[in-house]
Chain A
Amino acid sequence: EIVMTQTPLSLSVTPGQPASISCKSSQSLLQSDGKTYLYWYLQKPGQPPQLLIYEVSNRFSGVPDRFSGSGSGTDFTLKISRVEAEDAGVYYCMQATHFPRAFGQGTKVEIK
């Protein structure tokens, strides 16, 4: 099974500053169809996760453009260009290239 490893596990960010989260997979996530099925979710306190990014770099409906995803193969990054107070929560990456789907352990983002 694929292991997804996120770093850091926690992050404290000043509003207006950038933030970056890394997600590494134990195997390449490039599918034979040429797509890479890597997703990013944000779980705000007391809420279900919400999809931010699909297939590495595509923002989901309604997601602000301060969120961006990048990467390939086994290394992926979620960047927030200018953190806002509403961005606090736990961020998860998830791979859907290999069976079974697997989530990273989560990165808790705190706003100073």
Chain B
Amino acid sequence: QVQLQESGPGLVNPSETLSLTCTVSGDSITYYYWSWIRQPPRKGLEWIGYISSTGYTEYNPSLRSRVTISSDTSRNQFSLELSSVTAADTAMYYCATGASPSYWGQGTMVTVSP
């Protein structure tokens, strides 16, 4: 069964760029789609975007100007970058398999604070 593990800084300064990586095991990212979703504390889920096996990306319009999802097939990883962060970007960030998420990682909490 595929497993996903998010990694990255837990604290990011306002106005800087949030960078997270999702390491995939048990499957190759050269197949299918791979997603990022976030969840602010005590709130619901927000779809961020996905990347396909060919590198095609789709982003939530609410974040499109600030978000980039990329992949590194040699490391079987895909990544999220979110620029110009504010406190509103404080959330648990999840990576998941599929354009419509099926298997999810455990998530990584990112706090935006000076």
Is there contact, CB below 8 Å, between B100 and A49?
no
A39 touches B (CB below 8 Å): yes
| Interface locus among A10-18, A73-81, A98-106 | A98-106
Within residues 62 to 112 of chain A, which ones have a CB less than 8 A from any CB in chain B?
92, 94, 96, 99-106
- Of A50, A102, A103, A104, which contacts B104 at CB under 8 A? A50
Chain B residues positioned under 8 Å from A106 (CB to CB): 44-45
A51 touches B (CB below 8 Å): yes
Interface majority SS on A: helix, strand, loop or mixed? loop
Closest B residue to A48 by CB, please name it.
Answer: B104
Q: Contact mask B5-48 → A, CB, 8 Å, 1/0?
A: 00000000000000000000000000000000000000011110
Chain A residues positioned under 8 Å from B99 (CB to CB): 96
Interface residues on chain A, number (Cβ under 8 Å)? 22
Chain B residues positioned under 8 Å from A48 (CB to CB): 94, 104-107
Is there contact, CB below 8 Å, between A51 and B102?
yes
Please report the C-alpha to C-alpha distance between residue A100 and residue B104 in the assembled complex, in whole angstroms: 19
Interface size class of B (residues with CB under 8 A): 10 to 19
Closest chain A CB from B93 CB (angstroms): 11
Closest chain A CB from B50 CB (angstroms): 9
Please report the C-alpha to C-alpha distance between residue A100 and residue B100 in the assembled complex, in whole angstroms: 11
Is there contact, CB below 8 Å, between B102 and A100?
no
16 extra A-B contacts, CB within 8 A, seeds A51-B103, A92-B45, A96-B99: A1-B61, A39-B100, A41-B45, A41-B101, A49-B101, A50-B104, A94-B47, A94-B100, A100-B47, A100-B59, A100-B60, A100-B62, A101-B100, A103-B44, A103-B45, A105-B44
